[in-house]
Amino acid sequence: MKMDSLPSPLQSGEMTRIETTPNAVGSGAGSKPAPVATVRNICKRFPGVVANDDISLDFNAGEIHVLLGENGAGKSTLIGILAGMQQPDSGDILIDGVRVRLGSPRESLDHGIGTVFQHVLLVPSLTVIENLMLGGSWWQKLARSAALARFRELSDLLGVKLDPDALVGKLSLGEQQQVEIMRALWRGEKILILDEPTSMLTPQGVRDLGDVMRRLRAKGVALILITHKLAEAYELGDRISVLRLGRVVGAILPDERQQMTEQQVTDRVIAMMFGATMPTDAADAELLLGRAEGRRARRLVDRSGAPRLRATQLSTAAERGACPLHDVSFDLWPGEVLGIAGIDGNGQKHLAETLAGQRKAASGTIMLDGHDITAAGVPARRRAGIRYVTDERLGEGTVGTFSVATNLLLKEIGNEPFWRRGMTDWTRIHDHAREKIEHHDIRTPSEKTPIGKLSGGNIQKVLLARELANDAGVVIFNKPTYGLDLQNTRLAHERIVESARHGLGTIVISTDLDELLEVSDRIGVMYQGRLVGIVENGPEVELEIGKLMTGQTLAAGTGS
Amino acid sequence: MSELLTQPFLISLLFGAVTAGVPLLLAGLGEQISEKAGVLNIGIEGMMLFGAYTGFVAAYYSGSFWMGFLAGGLGGMVVASVVVLLCIRQGLNQIVIGIALTIGAEGLTALLHFFQFSKTYPRLDKAPVLEIPGLASIPVVGPALFSHNIIVYLAVGLVVFLAWLFRASYVGLNLEAAGAKPAALDAAGISVVATRSAAVLSTGFLAGLGGAYLANVGAGLFVPFMTHGAGFIGIVLAMLARGNPVWVLLGAVLFGVSLAMTTALQVAGVNVPTDVVHMLPFAMVMLVLVIFARHSVLPPALGLPYVRGDR
């Protein structure tokens, strides 16, 4: 193909594209446009799993096509196939009605298919414009001025303002995502795939992204949005297709979608997603909605007594790769769940480690039930009742090659009664493990199975079983449901709320605001290592939290 | 001390610094290309040694220094191709393979040399020298810096070329991306394997060329194990240079001077035990590492094999 020899779309393709764009809008508004891209009977198997089972879908110009489904529904595989990262075992892909082979990311880009992946795929040590120029062949001269022209063109198209010479590593996640969208559209704005693009954004960032998507739709781009949030699907989608276990189990067409209320869309989609196993519990449906605010009766936290945990002006030393703490102070009462919101990398990790005793505070004090524990190490704090459920389940949390039984006692190794005078009492350890497995419903072949072989949800159950054991007084959860599916997320939330009901002081650190809104009594926001505010959970607090997350100062009403 | 700063002493010191520094410079620049692309090329010592051997043999039999340099570069590329096959294509551990290659090259070249020449060490003629017209007649500086083999000028020119390449070409962008975020390069439609392979083969060529210079120009003969850790010093230079070729040049000058000190001090007849003098370059390595190592910045994906979809 001739396009292969072109470094970027800046040469001959330019004129034709400008001319065709208005046409695309025209046809998009028309009655029956031919689809820009079609996948037909796509099948893809991995050892033991059918990831895509006979999937057929159409993608139209000027339309946002939402693909909904749970983890493992086959969304990511389908996207990988369209992006040229994976090859289907069978089935056809048609672009503008012509059958094509997408053997590599380059071929997908040449066909005008751009993808914004879930993980940021930019080089942090290069500038915005350098990242966008990436992909030229070595014999070509760096076409900087042409690239800048294209950059301005796309900035106008997206309606965003970015400095082309800014280092990508210094941009906010929302801005990085805008760069990613530009890169995806760089060689032609025909099809744009967005894989769970809102999971890392602030509420404002989500709104901006929505604006960008609507703009692109108006210009005739075919957009594919992958999400598991129903509210987002309703808000943005013209056409909704639901995937389950590798199959398309249902769709809402644009004509239908326009005549349906949000509730009707929600009900239909949930029926499709769960089929025969449809949850009878209305709470499940609401959780799927991603708008569970106020659905649990708020517990009344008695804050008249002494706080269980009091942190005063905690600071930590700076260290490469992690944001340190600056003057973090808060109180935590028994029975309370304090959520910590904030964009990843704003000091959450340091906060968790400092409270758990894994990291030394440079200054400040931590008081537990009136006793100063600032100088105490991990074992002493553990005895005092502080527990930490890390976000690195396999790594910091567990040793993958050790058995479930050993991992359940990882923080007790050498202690009575499981170890006596340096001898290991395996009978006792395995008995203990069987009891925990039973009680916490851990799905494992046996207590001797290496924990690395279990699913993320079950590893998390092992961690919870270990950390909530014996007399815990304060539990710190760092991203407790990261990477878990809906069922396990729900279970984890229930455990958190339940243990708080039994009088535990609980801190939940999460980047998922919906999760915090669901489980927390109060929500504190971290920004650049500072706790910039604590707000009482309730309806309509998202905006306030969103403002805090981006460093805008709080107007009034800072909680305690 | 004043009798030290005589004209012959200075000339011999500077001339020796250049001769000793050029192999380090070539190795350091080569290693820098690999490291930028995310490959920790520990085997560079083996590439240099193999290049020294093939370069010497080619020059010895053909009588042409040009053939010697060419063969040296190709010899280094042969060793580098093992890294390409095993580490970049198969994803094996770069450190293990690198150490194996160095040990293997040491054994193989010693064996081949013994096989051909038994215990004799035949010498080459003095390497041709290009005197830069005008500059070469400046006192002290002229004979010390401007009458060297053409490889010396090419090596310095390479610094400028690489500085331009890294900053202002697609090659520079692609190398940076391959080392910092290979998945981004892949998503942009450029093969990470091809980019890294090209980088490692260039490293092999430059290291081999450096080895050939060491044997054919610096020593005039091949002795087994003659690189004496020059490749490892190249790795140190590349790691401390933060991706900037100019820093590699400065580092090579520093180490070149300390290596040349050993001979220059003996020429000057200073009354210091030779054992102490011979320690100088290695003491310098440790000193530099102690002072600067904490400031080195390495690419995030250095040493990690890339597998598509395995982020």
Neighboring chain B residues of A86 at a CB cutoff of 8 Å: 309
Residue ranges covered by each domain of chain B: 2-294
The proportion of chain A whose per-residue pLDDT surpasses 70, expressed as a percent, equals 85
The residue to which tokens 């997603």 are assigned: A273
**Is the predicted ipTM greater than 0.95, yes or no?**
no
The whole-number pLDDT of residue A549 equals 81
Mean per-residue pLDDT, A3-17: 39
- Please judge whether A134 and B188 are an interchain contact, meaning their C-beta atoms are less than 8 angstroms apart: yes
pLDDT cut 70: percent of chain B above it:
97
**What is the SS3 assignment for A146-194?**
HHHHHHHHHHHHHCCCCCCCCEHHHCCHHHHHHHHHHHHHCCCCCEEEE
**Segment holding A266, helix H or strand E:** helix A262-274
Interface test with A, best of B167, B169, B174, B181 (most A CBs within 10 A): B181
Cis peptide bond N-terminal to A334, omega within 30:
no
Residue A94 three-state SS: strand
CA distance A8 to A188: 9
In order of their start, the domains of chain A are 3-126+187-286 (3.40.50.300), 301-385+472-560 (3.40.50.300), 396-470 (no CATH)
Maximum mean pLDDT: which of A71-75, A551-555, B177-181:
B177-181
The answer on pLDDT for B253 being more than 50 is yes
At residue A286 the predicted structure's pLDDT band, cuts being 50, 70 and 90, is low
The contact set of B with A (CB < 8 A) is: 168-171, 173-174, 176-177, 180-181, 183-191, 198, 308-309, 311
Q: Please say if the pLDDT value at position A539 is more than 90.
A: no
B156 to chain A nearest CA, in Å? 23
Count of all residues that appear for chain B in the document:
311
CB-CB under 8 Å, B189 with A135: yes
Shortest CA gap A137–chain B (Å): 6
pLDDT higher than threshold 80 for residue A233: yes
Residue A159 has pLDDT above 60, yes or no: yes
Instruction: Nearest by CB to B189, from A105, A140, A141: name it.
Output: A105
Q: Considering only CA atoms, which of A242, A222, A221 is closest in space to residue A233?
A: A242
| pLDDT at A262 exceeding the cut of 70 | yes
Contacts of A119 in chain B (CB under 8 A): 183, 311
Instruction: Determine the distance in angstroms separating the CA of A193 from the nearest CA of chain B, rounded to an integer.
Output: 13
CA distance B70 to chain A (A): 23
How far A144 CA sits from the closest chain B CA (Å)?
A: 9
pLDDT for position A293:
41
Q: State the number of CA atoms in the 13 A half-sphere of B99 facing the CB.
A: 4
DSSP state of B244: -
Which residues have CB under 8 Å from B143's CB, separation 6+? B11, B15, B136
pLDDT value, residue B86: 95
Secondary structure element (H or E) that encloses residue A476, with its range: strand A474-478
DSSP-derived letter for residue B68 is H
Residues with Cβ within 8 Å of B128's Cβ and at least 6 positions away in sequence, in order, are B65, B149, B150
Chain B residues near residue A131 by CB distance under 8 angstroms: 184
For residues B23-48, give the mean pLDDT: 95
How far off is chain A from B277, nearest CA to CA, in Å?
39
Task: Please state the rounded mean pLDDT for residues B110-134.
Answer: 87
Smallest CA-to-CA distance from B180 within A187, A180, A130, A173 is with: A130
Tell me how close the Cα of B188 comes to any Cα of chain A, in angstroms: 5
Q: Which residue of B has its CA nearest to A79?
A: B309
Asked whether the beta carbons of residue B309 and residue A117 sit closer than 8 angstroms, the reply is no
CATH class of B2-294: mainly alpha
What's the CA gap between B254 and A109, in Å, rounded? 47
Kindly give the pairing relationship between strand A474-478 and strand A386-389.
Answer: parallel
With DSSP H G I counted as helix, E B as strand and the rest as coil, what are the percentages for chain A, rounded to 5? 35, 25, 40
> What's the average model confidence in pLDDT over A4-28?
39
Q: Which residues in chain A have Cβ-Cβ distances shorter than 8 Å to B190?
A: 106, 134-135, 137
Chain segment B266-303, per-residue pLDDT in tens: 767 777 777 787 787 778 878 888 888 777 778 888 88
Q: For strand A90-95 and strand A37-46, is the pairing parallel, antiparallel, or unpaired?
A: antiparallel
**Which stretches of chain A sit within 8 Å of chain B by CB?**
7, 80, 83, 85-86, 104-106, 109-110, 115, 117, 119, 121-126, 130-131, 133-138, 140-142, 183
Q: Are A335 and A302 in contact (CB under 8 A)?
A: yes
Of A21-25, A188-192, B41-45, give the range with the top mean pLDDT: B41-45
The model's confidence at residue A20, banded by pLDDT at 50, 70 and 90, is: very low
Those residues whose C-beta lies under 8 Å from the C-beta of residue B252, and which sit 6 or more positions away, are B21, B22, B24, B25, B28, B237
A120, A127, A138, best to mutate vs chain B, most B CBs in 10 Å = A138
Tell me how far apart the alpha carbons of residues B203 and B88 are, in angstroms, rounded to a whole number: 14
Q: Nearest 5°: phi and psi at A529?
A: 85, -5
**Helix or strand or coil: residue A225?**
strand
Q: How far apart are CA A320 and CA A102, in angstroms?
A: 40
Lowest-pLDDT choice from A55-69, A261-275, A536-550, B138-152: A261-275
* SS3 of B137-169: HCCCHHHHHCEECHHHHHHHHHHHHHHHHHHHE
pLDDT over threshold 80, residue A278? no
Of the candidates A559, A560, A518, the one whose C-alpha atom is nearest the C-alpha of residue A542 is A518
Comparing A55 with A8, the larger pLDDT belongs to A55
pLDDT at B93: 92
Interface test with B, best of A106, A108, A134 (most B CBs within 10 A): A134
Query: Is B168–A142 a contact, with Cβ atoms under 8 angstroms apart?
Result: yes
